[in-house]
Amino acid sequence: MTTRRTFLGLAGVAGASALAGCSADPRIDAALGPLAERDAQDEITFGIWDKAQEPAMLQIIDAFNEVYPGISVAVSTTAFGPYFERLRIQAQGDDLPDVFWINGPNFELYASYGMLQDLSGLEGFDPQNYPPNLVDLYSYEGTPYAIPKDFDTVALWFNRDLLHRAGVDEPSGSWSWQEYREASEAVTRALGGEQIWGNPGGVANQALIYPLILQAGGFILSEDKKTSGYDGPEAIEAFGFLDGMIRDGIAPDVRYTAENEPKDLFNNGRSALYLSGNWEAALLQESPVREHLGVAPIIHGEQEANVIHGIGCAMSARSRHKPAASAFLSFLGSERAHRIQAEAGAANPAFLGTNDAYVEAIPEFSLDVFVDAAETALPYPASQNTSAWLQLEELLFPKILGGESPVQDGARELAERMNGVLADES
């Protein structure tokens, strides 16, 4: 039987002594049941982590209340950093929000430990309305436990003014790795005296390292979720590509980017190229170099590859307000709710056919590049305890890229330690 103690022990949130007083799990009513009646009176909670998206969420709640005027939805917004720590503490106390945001790295942990409501019978929810790779991301053992809210993919942001000053033509399609390196080198050599880089380096996993490993034909996590791919020749090739630019002075090293974040370098006009996602659009709208910015498809290696991720909306399996929570969750998954967030420019909606509203909300950027990438992008790699090996990435990526030891040594260490985490999951 799954207990909250076991769940939190795996999550690494609290030690055994802190959990010694936990009582046995309460009985869980697995039934979803019907949606609330239109005249129902109830109060539910909604947990999110992005203050910038809160106004759009409040607009969605206002629209929901046009249909269900008697159901009050209280939004609780927590900064992303402490959000999941708080969520796990709430799980310990049997006090999860009725409806809340979840992400790929944390989804399987909550789903596998019975914390999320099975949504296969949710009225109004049709998985075919969302990209299949996102539906897969938020399904556990074939059952959906969260509704895709939005999605992000990766592309190549560029500063056309810096490229032109360095004599480099802006990308008109997907550059190869070599073209990306050559353009980066040309800018760094031409404009480095002004503290301008061709690309801003960094150790971002979804935006940089994951896609390159996939483009080389490798993997981050095996399909059976038992093996790391970080020690494979393809991963070492990808690490070597990034490491080579650092060692050749084309891109800044990890010590520099620890103090000068890649997104800040690009946003402030100190980098010509930046591999990142559509989540940057809101920040770059306010960039002092906004008029010079464009976006092109992600670069490619031996093969094309991208990574798709996005927020999911889930319901607590222990909610004491399931009819009202079901009604609200069903509305969150509707076309109307997705258009509201799209028109607000809050996020790229997951509901198929609503992306035009998001693209038009920020017309100065060609955000359709990110939408087009969703068709073939691979889901963000995730296992039951993803957060544990994400911590290993954070620790060891800087050692692999530009470190004193050969790339393959650091990659092998990461794979071995990640394999240990995966073994503990099973």
pLDDT the model gives residue 283: 83
Domain boundaries, the chain: 34-152+309-379, 154-305+381-425
pLDDT in tens, 119-133: 999 999 999 999 999
Q: Is 203 within 8 Å of 397 (Cβ atoms)? A: yes
pTM: 0.89
Residue 185 has pLDDT above 80, yes or no: yes
Six-digit token pair at 8? 């939190």
d(CA 126, CA 148) in angstroms, rounded, equals: 11
Q: Is 231 within 8 Å of 412 (Cβ atoms)? A: yes
What is the DSSP secondary structure assignment for residue 208, as one 8-state letter?
Answer: I
Dihedral angle computed from the Cα positions of residues 158, 160, 163 and 166, in that order, rounded to the nearest 10 degrees: -160
d(CA 155, CA 171) in angstroms, rounded, equals: 11
pLDDT the model gives residue 25: 47
Question: Is 124 exposed, middle or buried (CB count within 10 Å of its CB: 0-12, 13-18, 19+)?
Answer: middle
What is the DSSP secondary structure assignment for residue 300, as one 8-state letter?
Answer: B
Distances (CA, A) of 224 to 55, 214, 216, 426: 40, 17, 20, 11
Q: What is the CATH number of domain 154-305+381-425?
A: 3.40.190.10
Q: Is 334 within 8 Å of 111 (Cβ atoms)? A: no
Lowest-confidence region among 5-19, 138-152, 312-326, 356-370: 5-19
pLDDT in tens, 223-240: 999 999 999 999 999 999
pLDDT in tens, 29-73: 677 889 999 999 999 999 999 998 999 999 999 999 999 999 999
Distances (CA, A) of 402 to 179, 203, 211, 250: 21, 11, 19, 12
Six-digit token pair at 340? 């509201």
Tell me the CATH architecture of domain 34-152+309-379. Answer: 3-Layer(aba) Sandwich (3.40)
Closest CA to 220 of 383, 425, 385: 383
User: 34-152+309-379 with 154-305+381-425: one CATH topology?
Assistant: yes
Six-digit token pair at 219? 């993997």
Q: Which residues pair with 152 in a beta bridge?
A: 309
Got the DSSP string for 104-142?
HHHHHHHHHTT-B---TT-TT--GGGS-HHHHHHTEETT
Task: Specify the 3-state DSSP secondary structure of 393.
Answer: helix
pLDDT the model gives residue 29: 65
pLDDT in tens, 258-308: 999 999 999 999 999 999 999 999 889 889 999 999 999 999 999 999 999
DSSP strand pairing (154-159 vs 273-277): antiparallel
pLDDT the model gives residue 11: 54
Cβ-proximal residues to 355 (8 Å cutoff; 6+ apart), any chain: 342, 348, 349, 368, 371
The confidence band for 345, taking pLDDT boundaries of 50, 70 and 90, is confident
